[in-house]
Structure 1
Amino acid sequence: MHRYSLILIGLLLRVSTTQAQSAIAENTIGRSTESTTVEVAPKKGKLSEAPFFLKAYGFYSLLTPGTEINYSGTQSQITSPTIYKPVNTHLGAGPRAGIGVGLIVSDFINVGVDADLLFGTPLQLTYDVFVGSGSTASFYKISTNTTLRVLSVIPNITFKALSRPSYYIYNRLGLVGGVVLDYKTLSNTLQTPTRGATTTSVNTATYTKNSLALGYQAALGIQFRLSQSIRGFAEVVAYNQSFKPREVQNTNSSTTNGATTVQNSATQFKDAGDYNKMNPYEQPVYNVPINSVGLGAGLVVRF
């Protein structure tokens, strides 16, 4: 009986040992799995692109639709016809340069404000003509040079027509409000009479008061990725803009036989006035268009 008791106790001890080893193994595996799970770092989400941007751009006008057509004229002899032809340069032609700031509102819309300066191309005219007849005729050689500079502010909205990861095609609309910084015409005249002394004259017309140059802008372009934060763009841009001169100051200097005389005058441009008024003179107001269509290109930095 005692021997059977010992055998039973031995069996019980073996079962207990097996169960204990199993429990220890399960706890070890559980802790190992838990430790491994904790050590795995969560994946980082994709960084979102910066919503603000700065841009710098240049523009050059190729066409000037709707602007005033100016002519140069030539007459070789008193009795020959005066041949006139239009000049290719109009007000509004030439380069612009600007900067802008904007906000990416959504995947399809940007809003921004640009500021650009129209440097313009000088408008040069020549007019060579005989005035009078016979011994009283005089030959006039006249050359004029008109310069124009306008600083414009352009709030705008951009619509993305086709968007891809590396580029997108867009169109932009904006309202243009400009300040005329410089508007001036310099005229040089050489009068050579059939008899008598020649006279040289220099007249400077400075438009000291002008209205705002108002209008709109439309563009169609493509923007493409250069790096994570830098983009390039190229576009076709149309400006429709005009202003009204309000006052011009004229200074005329004439020299004949070494004697020089200087005359100053002013003219105001009004919606209604008096043609006979002097000091200053009064003339009807008129509109100066400075439209242009051309190519622009630049860089965008997102931040």
Structure 2
Amino acid sequence: MNRYLTPLIGLLMQAVIVNAQSTLSLNALNPSVGSVAAAAPQKTKAAESPVYVKLYGLYGLLTPGVQIRYSESLSQTGIAFPFKTTNKGLGAGPRAGVGIGLIVSDFINIGLDADILFGAPVNITNSYDDGTYTYTNASTITLKVLSVIPNITFKALSRPSYYIYNRLGLVGGVVLDYKTVDNAISQSTNGTSSTYNVTSNYTDNSLALGYQAALGIQFRLSEAIRGFAEVVGYNQSFKPKRLEVTNANVINGKPVSSVVVTEYKNEGNIVNSTTSQPNQALSFNVAMNSIGVGAGLVFRF
């Protein structure tokens, strides 16, 4: 047995020595090969941050559930009463906002947005003509609200280049401006006329509370930037607490001005005061709903 093993071991040792000599010769001719491989290991790409920020804008097109307002006119015959409802209410118009979010999983994001409703003015015109005098009034209602929206996003369909999602959020808003400006003129057939300029400014209001729902698509624009488009619904409401009415009228050529303050209460006595104390009136609710379209950019770092 040993007489067969001894020659076999000798052959194996010879093969190992020859292979080692070949490797040494190759490294001697190319000394950079081994050192480069050892000095430059392959880098692993860093994972994307789960935090993102976004900028967006949207426009409220429809205002379901808000108070219906209309323009009307009354002729001297008393037979025809033309009227026309407005095509939008409070809550319509442009919004702009920013947000920050966290990607929790492949299917859920959580975020916090803040936006401003700049609003679209609601214009109403009323006129009256009884043959003795005419009266025309143009009324403009404006509303501006700053809202904070904690929200959660559910990814319904996710692909490497895009995903479809729906988002739900709670909305808490601060009313920055809510007022009505009336400009009216009254003229009689005897030549006398009067003008009325009345500003009804709701200087104190409750929080505008409600919810938000959206359906949209987000798509990749570059390594760090995404774009998105969505349909968004807002449902908010608030209660005025204090109204200041400023009258700057000219009646038959004589200027007449006044300021009337009214406070709205959930309970108490309805008071129309002629003294310095504020009037009291029953509290009421103001709805500012909207359904609109929006778009924006998402930045991941």
Give TM-score, length-normalised by structure 2.
Answer: 0.86
After superposition, give the CA deviation of every residue in 1:131-186 in whole Å (9 maximum; x if it has no partner): 6xx7xx43210110111000001011111111100000001011100000000110
In the other structure, the counterpart of 1:14 is: none
- Mapped partners of 1:53, 1:189: distance in 2: 51
Give 3-state SS (helix, strand or coil) of 1:39's partner. Answer: helix
Residue 77 to residue 19, structure 1, CA distance change in 2 (3 Å): closer
Alignment of 1:122-141 (within 5 A): 122-130=121-129, 137-141=132-136
* Equivalent residue letter for 1:281: N
Counterparts of 1:84-103 in structure 2 under 5 Å?
84-103=83-102
Structure 2 unaligned runs (5+)?
1-10, 28-32
State the partner residue of 2:282.
284
**Structure 2 SS opposite 1:273:** coil
For 1:185, the aligned partner's letter is T
Q: Find 1:269's aligned residue among 264, 270, 273.
A: 264
TM-superposed CA distance for 1:52, in Å, is: 1.1
Offset of residue 79 of structure 1:
3.7
Change (3 A) 1:65 1:37: same
Cα RMSD (Å) of the superposition? 2.6
Please show how residues 145-160 of structure 1 align to structure 2 within 5 Å.
145-160=140-155
Distance 1:39 1:120 in 2: 64
Equivalent in the alignment of 2:293: 295
How many residues get paired? 283
Unaligned runs of 5+ in 1: 1-17
SS in structure 2 of the partner of residue 27 of structure 1:
helix
Choose the corresponding residue for 1:161, options 156, 163, 181.
Answer: 156
Identical amino acids, percent of aligned pairs: 54
**Within the alignment, does 1:178 sit opposite 2:170 as a pair?**
no
Question: Which deviations, in whole Å up to 9, do the C-alpha atoms of 1:215-260 show, x marking residues without a partner?
Answer: 0000010000000000000001000111110010001121134320
Give the C-alpha shift of residue 276 in structure 1: 2.9
- Bigger CA radius of gyration: 1
Q: CA deviation at 1:50?
A: 2.0
Q: Which residue in 2 is equivalent to 1:111?
A: 110
Distance in 1 (CA, whole Å) between partners of 2:12 and 2:74 is 123
TM-superposed CA distance for 1:80, in Å, is: 4.1
Equivalent residues in 2 for 1:44-59, closer than 5 Å: 44-59=43-58
1:28 aligns with 2:21: yes
Deviation at 1:19, TM superposition (A): 9.9
Distance 1:223 1:20 in 2: 66
Query: Using a 3 Å threshold, how does the CA distance of structure 1 residues 74 and 19 change in structure 2: closer, same or farther?
Result: closer
Secondary structure of the residue aligned to 1:98 is strand
Change (3 A) 1:27 1:171: same
For the 8 Å contact 1:72–1:125, the answer to whether it is kept is yes
State whether residues 111 and 152 of structure 2, in contact with CA within 8 Å, keep that contact through their aligned partners in structure 1.
Answer: yes
Cα separation, 2, equivalents of 1:161 and 1:37: 50
Amino acid at match of 1:221: G
Deviation sequence 1:4-34 (CA, Å, 0-9, x none): xxxxxxxxxxxxxx99976642433576899
Give, as a single letter, the amino acid of the residue that structure 2 aligns with 1:282: Q
8 Å contact kept, 1:60–1:94: yes
Deviations 1:51-80 (A, max 9, x none): 111111110112111011001001243544
| Residue 23 to residue 111, structure 1, CA distance change in 2 (3 Å) | closer
CA separation in 1, counterparts of 2:299 and 2:25?
Answer: 49
Per the TM alignment, residue 39 of structure 1 is displaced from its structure 2 partner at its CA by 2.4
| Equivalent residue for 1:209, pick from 190, 204, 207 | 204
Distance in 2 (CA, whole Å) between partners of 1:111 and 1:197 is: 64
Distance 2:13 2:285 in 1: 102
Q: Structure 1 residue aligned with 2:236, among 237, 241, 266?
A: 241
Whole-angstrom CA distance in 2 between matches of 1:19 and 1:207: 100
